[in-house]
């Protein structure tokens, strides 16, 4: 069985700067002068000495907002712009087909799937395409589109046998593999020529690594400079294999260090990555995971923040913030919200999950349609709702739909 990308840290997407102090002293915030500040929904101490000044925060937000003049994303139906972040590639062929068929019947036609390098090229130059061949076969039969996450290094590439979550020692090895994926499954790819009975459904997009901003997926610690090197090698190689494949890079705000050290969006993952040399001509989108704990898609404030401009990084409102930052840096590309969701095992109840999933999709394809290209609801997999990660599923353990499944289906069919 191929390694899964499960990592019980979905809820930490809003927690990696928990030790950054909160701004204090702003009138109208609801925070009393001198009252102790606290992190939203985390209950952990903060360190005031690490906070940027309120003036700097407001200046940054003002500059980014004024400079945000992004080109609009082409109008599409909600069904064209919404998918599942799924774990199908590790299933049997029959289960893979059954889950994909159920989703497409509900109106979902996009699937974000791991194409794990460690499993597909376990020895250099020797490929095991069977799992992804099955996925692409089912996608062809069901009319589905695939966003492939090319991630996780084999031991021969990273030098680490204990985990595949280390980056490769040589980015050229990763670029060669990513290009091999594009050459096999892209337009005119070898997979389609080997299977003339299938109607070609070429690979639509490749995401360069999963959550490289989080130490659990980029060990021993995230490194924006090293990731930029990987992107510089891989993006042009993918485009050389199939110029029509969309190439997506990670654009989340924070860095999740192994030791939990503080950082804010002002000097977090995206801020540092934007200072790197990136091959923007070969890139088509920013992957963002706008998790926000138990807070809803229309929430604009968080209790305990004396200055609500600083709170936006923990809300679904972080998507416009990413747009503004990339635009100000001259590196705007449409946002692909490649994971978003709410867990019924720790964050919200089923009814609230349904309302939040529906509202997140509505806001992305409606109000924010000019800069959010696609949204992928986390997660479609064999349900295991007993843990926080599993609670993101829109299905119960017996396979029956949660209200969120029904709400999403109704929205996509409307």
Q: What percent of the chain has pLDDT over 70?
A: 82
According to the 3-state scheme, what is the secondary structure of 332-362?
A: CCCEEEEEECCCCCCCCCHHHHHHHHHHHHH
The least confident of 1-15, 96-110, 239-253, 376-390 is 1-15
pLDDT, tens digit, 9 for 90 and up, residues 160-212: 999 999 999 999 999 999 999 999 999 999 999 999 999 999 999 999 999 99
Please give the pLDDT value at position 69. Answer: 43
What is the maximum span of the chain, computed from C-alpha positions, in angstroms? 71
Distance between CA atoms of residues 106 and 92, nearest Å? 21
- Say if residue 74's pLDDT is above 90: no
Task: Report the distance separating Cα 45 and Cα 31, nearest Å.
Answer: 16
The pLDDT of 77-84, averaged and rounded, is 92
Q: Is 10-26+37-63+79-413 in CATH node 3.20.20.80?
A: yes
Listed by start position, the domains of the chain span 10-26+37-63+79-413
Q: What tens digit of pLDDT does each residue of 362-388 get?
A: 999 999 999 999 999 999 999 999 999
What are phi and psi for residue 376, nearest 5 degrees?
Answer: -120, 115
Confidence (pLDDT) at 47: 28
Contacts (Cβ under 8 Å, ≥6 apart) of 117: 150, 151, 152, 153, 154, 157, 164, 174, 177
Burial of residue 236, with CB atoms counted within 10 A of its CB: 0-12 exposed, 13-18 middle, 19 or more buried: middle
Coil, helix or strand at residue 205: strand
For residue 37 the two structure tokens come to 């500040």
């Amino acid at each position: 069985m191929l390694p899964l990308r499960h990592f019980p840290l979905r809820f930490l997407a809003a927690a990696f700067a928990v030790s950054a102090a909160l701004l204090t002293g702003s009138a109208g915030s609801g925070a009393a002068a001198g009252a102790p500040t606290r992190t939203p929904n985390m209950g952990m101490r903060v360190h005031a000495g690490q906070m940027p000044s309120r003036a700097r925060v407001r200046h940054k937000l003002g500059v980014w907002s004024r400079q945000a003049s992004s080109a609009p994303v082409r109008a599409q139906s909600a069904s064209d712009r919404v998918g599942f972040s799924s774990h199908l590639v590790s299933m049997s062929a029959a289960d893979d087909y059954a889950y994909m068929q159920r989703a497409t019947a509900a109106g979902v036609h996009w699937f974000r799937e791991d194409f794990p390098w460690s499993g597909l090229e376990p020895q250099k130059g020797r490929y095991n395409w069977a799992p992804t061949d099955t996925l692409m076969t089912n996608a062809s039969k069901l009319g589905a589109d695939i966003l492939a996450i090319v991630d996780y290094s084999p031991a021969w590439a990273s030098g680490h046998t204990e985990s595949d979550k280390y980056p490769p020692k040589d980015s050229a090895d990763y670029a060669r593999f990513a290009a091999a994926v594009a050459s096999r499954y892209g337009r005119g790819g070898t997979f389609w020529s080997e299977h003339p009975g299938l109607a070609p459904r070429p690979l639509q997009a490749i995401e360069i690594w999963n959550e490289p901003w989080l130490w659990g997926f980029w060990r021993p610690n995230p490194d924006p400079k090293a990731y930029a090197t990987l992107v510089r090698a891989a993006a042009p190689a993918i485009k050389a294999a199939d110029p029509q494949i969309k190439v997506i890079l990670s654009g989340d705000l924070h860095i999740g260090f192994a030791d939990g050290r503080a950082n804010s969006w002002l000097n977090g993952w995206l801020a540092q990555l934007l200072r790197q040399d990136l091959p923007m001509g070969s890139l088509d989108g920013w992957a963002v995971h706008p998790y926000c704990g138990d807070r809803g898609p229309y929430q604009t404030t968080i209790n305990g923040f004396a200055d609500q401009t600083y709170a936006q990084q923990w809300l679904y409102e972080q998507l416009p913030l990413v747009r503004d930052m990339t635009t100000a840096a001259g590196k705007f590309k449409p946002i692909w919200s490649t994971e978003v969701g709410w867990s019924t095992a720790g964050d919200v109840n089923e009814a609230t999950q349904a309302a939040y999933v529906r509202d997140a999709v509505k806001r992305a394809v409606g109000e924010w349609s000019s800069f959010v290209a696609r949204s992928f609801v986390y997660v479609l997999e064999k349900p295991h709702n007993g843990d926080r990660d599993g609670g993101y599923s829109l299905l119960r353990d017996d396979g029956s739909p949660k209200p969120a499944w029904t709400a999403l289906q109704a929205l996509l069919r409307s």
